[in-house]
Amino acid sequence: MQRLAFKMKLKKGQKEAYVKRHNEIWPELKKLLKENGVSEYSIFLDEETDTLFAFQKNTGLVGSQDLANNKIVKKWWDFMADIMDVNSDNSPVSVPLEEVFFMP
């Protein structure tokens, strides 16, 4: 099991839209993530900086950020592009975080 963490950036004032969209996550996207080994996926928001902190437990070889060529993922990125900082392909600007402590 690998644990992955990364941060992303939410546009100012978009918390409600972000939460709503994730509360209504598409079943096909959730299925895709689970089929690729993502067993847990949490996202936290630092409201002072609008920084999103994501954490995943993964039994597969890839995390959600590695599914860039999947049409469902690309569609989700397009759907989220208006409320997040994104790259030219609408993928979220995502910065991997190094684990510096773990207590099992």
| Catalytic residue list | 22
Radius of gyration (C-alpha) of the chain in whole angstroms: 13
DSSP E strands in 12-90: the ranges are 38-46, 51-58
Structure tokens given for 58: 């993964």
What does the alpha-carbon distance between residue 42 and residue 18 come to, in Å, rounded to a whole number?
13
